Amino acid sequence: MKPDGHTLYHFAGCPYCARVDRAVDDLGLVLERRDIHQDAAARDELVAAQGRATVPVLRIEDGDGARWLPESADIVRELYTRFGNGRRPPLRTWIGPREILIALAAVGLVIAALR
């Protein structure tokens, strides 16, 4: 299912984004995604709306305009409420070892690039 008006601002290697990705996969959703490290315009749009470039953030367009929803746990809860047909998020919503390793690798790449 591709919900209209839902855009996920994220970047590869973000463990909190991975939490949202698990929920999106579990619900069978196809969201428009904007990687703020690959798309400068997306990053600028996020900063203009939120005042910072922290991800994940879900932008929800509806009849009342745009609503920006930060925080992975809140995004997961919103997705299950809207699209879960009564289902609740799985118990495993914490950041696991895989996500921690991905985040550490991403930090290592940034540090190496700065040297």
Q: pTM of this prediction?
A: 0.76
What mean pLDDT do residues 67-91 have? 90
What mean pLDDT do residues 53-72 have? 93
What mean pLDDT do residues 72-92 have? 87
Long-range CB contacts for residues 48-57, cutoff 8 Å, separation at least 24: 55/9, 55/10, 55/11, 55/14, 55/16, 55/17, 56/8, 56/9, 56/10, 56/14, 56/16, 56/17, 56/19, 56/20, 57/8, 57/9
Residue 56, domain member (yes or no): yes
Residue 1, domain member (yes or no): no
Res. 48: pLDDT tops 70: yes
Range of the domain at 86: 6-114
pLDDT, mean over the chain: 88
The confidence score (pLDDT) of residue 94 equals 55
Residue 10, domain member (yes or no): yes
Domain count, the chain: 1
CATH of the domain at 63: 3.40.30.10
What mean pLDDT do residues 61-88 have? 91
